[in-house]
Structure 1
Amino acid sequence: MDSKITPIDRAALVRDLTNLGIVQGDLVMVHASLKAVGPVIGGPAQVVEALLEAIGPAGTLLAFVSWDRSPYEETLNGRTLSPREREDWPAFDPTRAGTYPGFGMLNAFIASHPNAYRSAHPDASMASIGRLAPMLVTEHELGQAYGPGSPLERFVAAAGCVLLLGAPLDAVTVLHYAEAVARIPGKRRVRYEMPILDAGGRKVWVPVDDFDSNGILDCYAVPGQSDAVERIARDYLGEKRHRTGRIGNADSYLLSAPDLVRYGIDWLERRHPSV
């Protein structure tokens, strides 16, 4: 930790969030870099509490948390695990599963909050706290990771907003919903398997077929190049339809999810029209 950086407290975070435009009753999907925010008195848990205080008891917090033991890569498009590996791999249990650290360590504190609800899709798991949390995440079937029927669809329908709290532009998960519903040809799909618990509490491996969130078209799946999510988000910010500010030490953005999704759908359909 840089000794020259003065730790901030929860009250300061709440003021920063309010100045950015978050109000009581808001539905907020957060993507955060704790490193960018800087040291916080009381640790990352106080960032979660500041977010909850800013939105109030009528508000709702949502985060994309995934799963640290997701076998997505190991079973992707025909890859296989050995019988022993399949036997030893844990089944996804939303009440105790870890979160994927690559999407930010704040997610672990959101998912483990005593009032959090967590969706049952292992790889695309969402965690939510607040008034709308049960509605948002209770239904999340395999094969509906980010598209119709997903928590993201309900988040957009409920006029949520996206908070980038020092996070990069490729982190805007709600744009995967725009990719899923945009009418463009040649969408990439992936097949993989997930271990879940059946009604009797036994582990079963379930095959999944869904849109490819790592590149909806071939041109957005080139290693080392920006995917569609990052390009759309960058162009959207260029339109100045968002609010900017600093949360702690992090440059932050507040975006309307419905407006961003409409923009993303139009962005994709104009560049890749159906024949």
Structure 2
Amino acid sequence: MKTRTEITTDLRQLGVRTGDLVMVHASLKAVGAVKGGPTAIVGALLDAIGSSGTLMGYASWDRSPYEETLNGVRMADEARRTWPPFDPATARTYPGFGLLNQFLVEAPGARRSAHPDASMVAVGPLSETLIEPHRLGQALGNGSPIQRFVELRGKVLLLGAPLNSVTALHYAEAIADIPGKRRVTYEMPLLGPNGETVWETAEDFDTNGILDRFAVAGQADAVETIANAYVATSRHRSGTVGDAFCHLFDARDIVSFGVAYLESRFGKGA
């Protein structure tokens, strides 16, 4: 069983430094047994970046009605009436993006963004800058916490998570100049000023497939495709943290690579 100190040492050997802005995508199963559990892993991440660093994660929401309202689908009246509004202070995270995010949300000083489905969580001195604002229609593209994370020269840490987890590459999809981008609409229940539920409709890029060719069931989407191509260039760092094989990416570099990848293959002149 690993200790918090050993995980911190592994992270520093991987290339995580004091003062870094790090967005983590984690597989607790891959990391293996750590004394103190997920709370100790969050602590090790915070130890590695120090008090001047900031840790970020993709929390989303376990009750997000994205699929239930996608592209005009109408929920049953009773389900719509009783669906809880999103409250960043109490909402649980979506387990499909990693169980560690719930422990990150519960960390002292954590801040969470207001977009229910694309909710981000951050801990550290840059947390407020990263988290606010986060409006519907700006989930992962311009105006989002991901844009600010990239501009602030963040690092993407895959802590045993697969290459299709690099959320920052959805920002590359959003800003790449390519025709035929898929768009979706969906509804989200927000918390009104008097505690009431206010349903609002959003339109955004389709993160399940930015182009038709990347929306084929059972095949790699654009994020996974770009991440695999990027890893092949060896412009990143890899190593072991706990029992997990990990990658550490410069967010600005992998996003620039992703934009160039999409535009060179699917742009107007391609």
Give TM-score, length-normalised by structure 1. Answer: 0.97
Residues 1-275 of structure 1 aligned to structure 2 (within 5 Å): 7-274=1-268
Q: Take 1:177 and 1:125, find their aligned partners in 2: how far apart are those partners?
A: 15
Give the counterpart letter for 1:188 in structure 2.
R
The unaligned stretches of length 5 or more in structure 1 are: 1-6
Q: Take 1:91 and 1:273, find their aligned partners in 2: how far apart are those partners?
A: 39
SS at 2:239's partner residue? Answer: strand
SS at 1:18's partner residue? Answer: helix
Q: Take 1:139 and 1:58, find their aligned partners in 2: how far apart are those partners?
A: 22
TM-superposition CA deviations, 1:177-199 (whole Å, max 9, x none): 00000000000000010000123
- Please report how far the alpha carbon of residue 44 of structure 1 lies from its aligned counterpart in structure 2 after TM superposition: 0.6
- Please report how far the alpha carbon of residue 168 of structure 1 lies from its aligned counterpart in structure 2 after TM superposition: 0.5
Q: Take 2:108 and 2:183, find their aligned partners in 1: how far apart are those partners?
A: 36
- Please report how far the alpha carbon of residue 115 of structure 1 lies from its aligned counterpart in structure 2 after TM superposition: 1.0
Q: Take 2:263 and 2:192, find their aligned partners in 1: how far apart are those partners?
A: 39
Q: Take 1:274 and 1:228, find their aligned partners in 2: how far apart are those partners?
A: 18
Give the counterpart letter for 1:207 in structure 2.
T
- Please report how far the alpha carbon of residue 11 of structure 1 lies from its aligned counterpart in structure 2 after TM superposition: 0.5
Q: Take 2:161 and 2:265, find their aligned partners in 1: how far apart are those partners?
A: 26
SS at 1:192's partner residue? Answer: strand
- How many residue pairs were aligned? 269
Q: Take 1:166 and 1:156, find their aligned partners in 2: how far apart are those partners?
A: 21
| Overall identity of the aligned pairs, in % | 57
Q: Take 1:27 and 1:148, find their aligned partners in 2: how far apart are those partners?
A: 19
SS at 2:230's partner residue? Answer: helix
- Please report how far the alpha carbon of residue 201 of structure 1 lies from its aligned counterpart in structure 2 after TM superposition: 2.5
Q: Take 1:221 and 1:234, find their aligned partners in 2: how far apart are those partners?
A: 17
TM-superposition CA deviations, 1:80-108 (whole Å, max 9, x none): 11111111100000000010001110011
RMSD: 0.7
The unaligned stretches of length 5 or more in structure 2 are: none
Q: In structure 2, what is the equivalent of residue 3 of structure 1?
A: none
TM-superposition CA deviations, 1:53-111 (whole Å, max 9, x none): 00000000000010000000000011111111111100000000010001110011001
- Please report how far the alpha carbon of residue 141 of structure 1 lies from its aligned counterpart in structure 2 after TM superposition: 0.2
Q: Take 2:76 and 2:103, find their aligned partners in 1: how far apart are those partners?
A: 33
SS at 2:63's partner residue? Answer: coil
